[in-house]
Amino acid sequence: MAMDTLPASDQRRLDELYEYIDTQSKTFIGYPCSQQFDYTPLFRFLNYPINNVGDPYAPSSYRVNTKEIEREVIQWFAELTHADEKGYWGYVTNGGTEGNLYGLYLARELLASGMVYYSEHTHYSVSKNLRLLQMPNIMIRTLSSGEIDYEDLYETIRIHRDRPPIIFTNVGTTMQQGVDDIPRITSMVHELAIPQFYIHCDAALGGMILPFIANAPTWDFSAGIDSLSISGHKFIGSPIPCGIVLAQKRHVDRIARSIEYVGTLDTTITGSRNGITPLFLWYAIRKYGIEGFRRMAQQCIATAEYAVEAFERIGIQAWRNPFSVTVVFPKPLDTVQKKWQIAVQGQIGHIITMQHVTRSMIDELVADIEAASVGEPVK
């Protein structure tokens, strides 16, 4: 069968789209996604129908897969987040939503009468997940830092002590990168003498920053959590959204048993699964290693500090949480928002100083904000 060629008008559209994306990428400062990646040496794998269908630890007759690589990626994250050497299970997901959905699903299967608590600043996809899973839930107030309001959480759990709490925590909220104090939350639950509870941690961005910063708070499996989700397309960077989910293996085994009953050992949310993104993550991990990521995290934090100072120099009150690369400031004018792709919520906006964000980008943004405030057009 002859391969037809693409019509010239379509070829032009592709070129225009490419130019557009390239242009947009130059002012890409409002999202927590690194642009500093280069997976060119892996593109040759895109000529095969790779599929990591089902459980990464189960054999498959579909042998065009990268499950061995995927397991190594999961192992690396398990070590990074202090999971028990033999006691974890996980897989490479299509992104944060799937990882959080998996954690909540696991919690629901384990604690059928559970009540989910999550803070107001939790990513909006979590409400959607809870609806999908039909899990009863209560939204808790958020402190100005973006952390969950511990007193509100305590009081609310206390009132519902008859139901096992399922606490959805954030290690980095979307808008302010607020980090929930997980040890404080667990001791709170213990203080209420509640025997059964579940803690899931959405560490989309923070899960790849906190491990590399000195004196960062304890948040991972060492703090007693049951599952966590970390994005791959955020700090590591990827042209395709992806992430990892990790959970206590004993929980997954309980679910796996019940699924076996319906005739399959399929434990992942998605059936046919991307086998390219595990390769991307593996490649980045092998290329940079802990030391490389540490340097990156330190650089990003330094850029964030620089940004806070740059804002302050023009009299704009900006701030950031400790260990955070998210700089929060008053919502800028529309022209600035548009040019710099800045997501706003209520009266605040933020930028996120990922690896590709340079000091000269910050300078240009700050100059744009200053110009816009006196009515000059943003270039």
Restricting to residues 185-204, name those near a copy of itself by CB under 8 A: none
Instruction: Specify the length of the chain in residues.
Output: 379
How is residue 100 written in tokens? Answer: 């959080």
Catalytic status, residue 222: no
Q: Within positions 242 to 261, which residues make up the interface with a copy of itself, using CB under 8 A?
A: 259
| 349 bridge partner residues | 329, 344
Output the CA torsion sign for 88, 93, 96, 99: negative
Binding mask 269-298 for a copy of itself (x = CB under 8 A): xxxxxxxx------x--xxxx--x--xx--
264 counts as binding a copy of itself under rule CB under 8 A: yes
Q: Of 48 and 155, which CB lies nearer to a copy of itself in the complex structure?
A: 48
Q: Within positions 302 to 321, which residues make up the interface with a copy of itself, using CB under 8 A?
A: none
6 counts as binding a copy of itself under rule CB under 8 A: yes
Cβ at position 50, least distance to a copy of itself in Å: 6
Q: In terms of Cα–Cα distance, which of 317, 318, 338 is closest to 326?
A: 318
Place of tokens 């060119």: 40
CB atoms within 10 A of CB 251: 19
Q: Within positions 7 to 66, which residues make up the interface with a copy of itself, using CB under 8 A?
A: 7, 10, 14, 17-18, 21-22, 24-25, 28, 30-31, 33-51, 61-64, 66
Cβ at position 220, least distance to a copy of itself in Å: 22
Distance CA 198, CA 221 (A): 12
Q: In terms of Cα–Cα distance, which of 104, 76, 39, 351 is closest to 251?
A: 104
Cβ at position 246, least distance to a copy of itself in Å: 19
Stretch near a copy of itself under the rule CB under 8 A, chosen from 91-99, 189-197, 325-333, 369-377: 91-99
Distance CA 246, CA 7 (A): 45
CB atoms within 10 A of CB 158: 12
Question: For a copy of itself, which residue of 195, 214, 215, 263 counts as binding (CB under 8 A)?
Answer: 263
Q: DSSP characters for 283-296?
A: HHHHHHHHHHHHHH
Q: In terms of Cα–Cα distance, which of 256, 232, 200 is closest to 58?
A: 256
Residue 32 DSSP class: S
Binding mask 342-361 for a copy of itself (x = CB under 8 A): xx-----------x------
- What are the strands of the beta sheet with 243-248, ordered from one edge? 88-93, 243-248, 227-231, 198-202, 165-170, 115-119, 137-140
Question: For a copy of itself, which residue of 71, 121, 123, 249 counts as binding (CB under 8 A)?
Answer: 123
Cβ at position 89, least distance to a copy of itself in Å: 16
125 counts as binding a copy of itself under rule CB under 8 A: yes
Cβ at position 315, least distance to a copy of itself in Å: 25
Cβ at position 124, least distance to a copy of itself in Å: 4
Cβ atoms of residues 340 and 27 within 8 Å: yes
221 counts as binding a copy of itself under rule CB under 8 A: no
* Catalytic residue selected from 187, 324, 360, 373: 324
Q: Within positions 101 to 120, which residues make up the interface with a copy of itself, using CB under 8 A?
A: 105
**What is the set of active-site residues?**
324
